[in-house]
Structures are given as structure tokens and as C-alpha cells.
């Protein structure tokens, strides 16, 4: 008999191979096992709600007992469903067939005709996917992202007054602080985490064309629109009534797009850290036994940040494509979306991989404070913005031009020019102190706001 168990070394996707240990928790939401379990739970919860709606309440205790067992569906049991799918050629029909067997085993054979009553397969699948993504966001991804924001917040706090030379267009610009630079990222990511957390996945019940017509025809006295809304909302999702056979994808597109934006911000952070390393302003630690180059033994490379950047960029591209492509469905339904949705897990697992690698990178990052200070102190041109503004403040009309000339020919020439004009040369700023202080104050302001956001989100997440 052929052994279907997958060795990570045989995996085609690195998510299930190279990075399996790092991303093991993703299988709780996105594996075939997880999807089968969710389908069965959705079918059974629907059956329970349907029976209540039509006045058949007597079997609820046995159904609740079965639901508890299905929530612990084993791999072996999921494999039985998969075997049924090979025979029947339909994943949801395989789930309903398996559920029928379980009902019979629990003395509920008389309920088998009511399984999947009035539903279509996408009624089950859209809810299953929504629950999977909701669980991933709330239980796994957001806690990891928040912890990353906390690390950035702590790094910014430590260095809120550390002098740091800002660069615009790749060129030295003005003095700032390293803490202010990092606090920007912490604040931006904290706000994105809130946005992601507040985007509740939508789902629908609609039947073959979205009108609940089959249910209305067979049980005309039930308010099926209200039933559908109540059922979907009871699962912690938001009901969308504007469905055909398939769920409109606008909300899920918002969620995927927000993931893509987070990925892009994090990827830019990785590139910034990489550039700081090339400037000698940060250093990357390396374990004693770790090798960063097959030929250059001295190398200490930003491997975690580079790995994160690649994973995040790939994930952002996949999610951006999904978010636009899945808005399209021919007339009342076509199946082209099905294969794309099966890759939700790949794209979102890569998002998590990126976050985890940045965690690792930050844990091994050393900020070269002295190098940062030295760079600011040795770059007198960084004061030229302040020089031209001070000159203009004191009525020197061509202050900008004089400062530009001083940037090339030195401040001593500017002092002489001011003396010749009867101006006090002492007005020329000599230190970067005010710039650093302003940056530190901004950092403190951002960090206070960021900490409030973190506290708010921690209270929103499941305990």
C-alpha cells in the first residue's frame, strides 16, 4: 500500500518543507485537514440551526455531542473524508457523506435527508475559509505582529535620543534620532494591526443563486433571510446578503490588501536595516557555529532580514493578485476562484514567516551608537537647513544661497560674510542639539500613542 504521509524533504512548497517547523501552526487553519474539519463543523452547525428554524429540536443534545467530536477530527478521520472525495469527485459532497455516516452511528439516521438542506457548496466553503482566516488573524498573526511592534517600541525607546543622520535620496540630509526613525515604523504597524483586527470576515448563505429560493419553496413560513443573517453572525462573522452562488469578495479583498500593505511596510523596514548595516551603523550577531558564507569566514550577514524581505514581497504580490482577481465571478458562479483560494494559506504563511524572521533579526541586531554619533558630528553640512532658516529669521534675504555656498566652502567663509554685512556671526547654529531634541520628543509622542494601541489590541485578542 502506498504511504501518503509527506516527508518535509519531499514537499514541493517550502512552506511545507524547509519552513515547516517555523510555520507549523499555520496547518491549524490552512491544511486540507483543517478545511475538512471546518466544512464538517459548518455543515453540522447549519443542521442544528436549520432544525430549530423548522421546529425539529429534539435531537440537539446528540448533535452537540457529535459537534464536540468533529471539533477534534483526527488526521485518520480526515483521510476517510478524502477517500470519499476520490470516489465521489466532490470535496463538499464527501464531507456531507461522511457526516451522514456519523449521524447514523450516533442514532440520528433520520436526519440524513436534511444534511446540506437548501445549501450549495460555496455556502459551506465561504464560511469555512472565513473562519480559518479569522482564526489565523486573531490567534496567530496579530499576536506575532504585536510582539514585533513591542520590540520596535523598546528599540525606539532606548535610542530616542541617539543622534542619527537622516538620508533623503540616499544623501545625507539633517540630524534626527534613531529612536524617531524606528518609532515611525512601530506606530505605522500598530495602526495597521488595528485595521486588520477590525476587518471582520464576511460570509453568506444563499443557495444556488443567492436567493434562498429552495428553502423558501420548501419551508415558506420561515424568514430565511433573517435566518441566514443570524446563522452567519452567530459564527463571529459578518453576514453579506448581496450574494449570488458565491460570496462577494470585497471584504476579503480588504483583508488581503491590508496584509499586503503590512508586508510592504515590513519589507521596507528590512531594506532600511540592510542599508544601515552596509553603512556600518548596525551590526548582525552570529552564533559561534553558524556560517554566513561558504567562502568568506568573516561574514556576518543580515540573513533573517533578507529572508523576511523576500517572503514578505512574495506574499504581498500573491495577496494583491488575489484581492483583485477574486472580485470577479462569471454571472452567478464559476469555479476559477476555488483553486486561488486554496493558496490563501501559502500567501498568509509567508506573511507570518516574514514577521518571525524580523523577530529573529531584531534579537540579533546591535546598534552602533558611536558610529551614528560620529557620522552626525562629522557631517557639518547636515546643519545647513538650520543655517539658512536662522539667517532668514535674522533678515538675511539670501540666507538660502549663503547656506548653499557655505555647504561647499565652509562655515568660516559664511562668518566672514556676515561680519562684512554687520551681522553677528554667532547666530550660526553650532550643534545639532535642537534637532536631536525635536526628534526625541517626536519619538516619545509616537511611542506613547503606540503603547496605547498595543494595550487596546491586547485586550481585543482572545485570551
Catalytic residues: 169, 293
Q: E-strand spans in 322-446?
A: 365-367
Radius of gyration of the chain (CA): 30
Quick one: which of 226, 234, 223 has its CA closest to 46?
A: 234
Indicate the SS3 state at residue 245: coil
Helix (H, G, I), strand (E, B) or coil at 296: coil
Q: Give the C-alpha separation, 311 to 299, whole Å.
A: 23
Beta bridge partners of 239: 203
* Residues 293 and 248 sit within 8 Å (Cβ to Cβ): no
Whether the CB-CB separation of 357 and 304 falls below 8 Å is answered with yes
Alpha carbons 47 and 185: distance in angstroms, whole number: 47
Nearest residue to 57 (alpha-carbon basis) of 111, 2, 4, 115: 111
Contact 279, 302 (CB under 8 A): no
Amino acid at each position: 500500500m502506498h504511504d501518503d504521509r509527506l516527508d518535509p524533504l519531499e514537499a514541493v512548497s517550502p512552506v511545507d518543507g524547509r519552513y515547516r517547523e517555523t510555520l507549523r501552526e499555520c496547518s491549524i487553519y490552512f491544511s486540507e485537514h483543517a478545511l475538512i474539519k471546518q466544512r464538517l463543523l459548518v455543515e453540522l452547525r447549519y443542521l442544528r440551526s436549520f432544525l430549530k428554524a423548522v421546529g425539529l429540536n429534539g435531537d440537539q443534545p446528540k448533535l452537540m455531542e457529535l459537534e464536540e467530536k468533529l471539533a477534534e477530527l483526527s488526521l485518520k478521520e480526515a483521510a476517510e473524508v478524502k477517500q470519499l472525495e476520490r470516489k465521489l469527485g466532490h470535496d463538499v459532497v464527501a464531507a456531507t457523506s461522511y457526516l451522514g455516516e456519523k449521524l447514523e452511528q450516533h442514532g440520528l439516521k433520520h436526519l440524513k435527508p436534511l444534511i446540506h438542506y437548501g445549501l450549495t457548496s460555496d455556502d459551506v466553503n465561504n464560511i469555512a475559509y472565513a473562519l480559518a482566516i479569522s482564526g489565523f488573524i486573531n490567534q496567530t498573526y496579530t499576536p506575532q505582529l504585536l510582539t514585533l511592534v513591542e520590540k520596535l517600541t523598546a528599540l525606539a525607546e532606548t535610542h530616542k535620543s541617539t543622534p542619527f543622520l537622516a538620508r533623503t535620496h540616499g544623501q545625507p540630509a539633517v540630524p534626527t534620532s534613531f529612536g524617531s526613525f524606528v518609532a515611525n515604523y512601530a506606530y505605522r504597524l500598530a495602526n495597521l494591526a488595528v485595521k486588520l483586527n477590525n476587518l471582520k470576515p464576511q460570509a453568506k448563505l444563499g443557495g444556488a443563486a443567492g436567493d434562498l429560493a429552495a428553502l423558501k419553496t420548501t419551508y415558506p413560513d420561515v424568514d430565511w433571510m433573517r435566518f441566514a443573517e443570524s446563522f452567519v453572525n452567530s459564527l463571529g462573522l459578518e453576514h453579506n446578503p448581496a450574494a449570488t452562488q458565491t460570496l462577494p469578495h470585497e471584504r476579503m479583498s480588504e483583508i488581503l490588501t491590508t496584509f499586503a500593505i503590512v508586508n510592504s511596510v515590513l519589507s521596507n523596514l528590512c531594506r532600511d536595516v540592510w542599508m544601515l548595516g552596509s553603512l556600518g551603523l548596525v551590526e548582525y550577531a552570529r552564533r559561534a557555529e553558524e556560517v554566513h558564507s561558504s567562502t568568506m569566514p568573516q561574514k556576518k550577514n543580515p540573513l533573517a532580514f533578507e529572508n523576511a524581505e523576500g517572503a514578505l514581497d512574495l506574499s504581498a504580490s500573491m495577496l494583491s493578485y488575489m484581492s483583485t482577481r477574486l472580485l470577479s465571478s462569471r454571472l452567478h458562479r464559476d469555479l476559477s476562484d476555488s483553486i486561488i483560494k486554496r493558496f490563501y494559506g501559502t500567501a498568509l504563511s509567508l506573511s507570518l514567516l516574514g514577521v518571525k524572521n524580523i523577530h529573529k533579526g531584531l534579537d540579533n541586531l546591535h546598534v552602533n551608537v558611536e558610529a551614528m554619533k560620529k557620522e552626525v558630528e562629522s557631517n557639518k553640512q547636515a546643519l545647513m537647513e538650520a543655517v539658512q532658516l536662522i539667517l532668514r529669521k535674522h533678515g538675511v534675504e539670501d540666507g538660502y544661497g549663503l547656506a548653499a555656498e557655505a555647504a561647499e566652502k565652509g562655515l568660516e567663509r559664511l562668518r566672514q560674510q556676515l561680519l562684512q554685512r554687520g551681522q553677528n556671526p554667532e547666530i550660526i547654529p553650532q550643534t545639532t542639539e535642537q534637532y536631536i531634541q525635536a526628534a526625541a520628543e517626536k519619538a516619545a509622542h509616537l511611542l506613547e500613542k503606540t503603547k496605547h494601541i498595543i494595550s487596546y489590541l491586547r485586550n481585543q485578542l482572545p485570551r
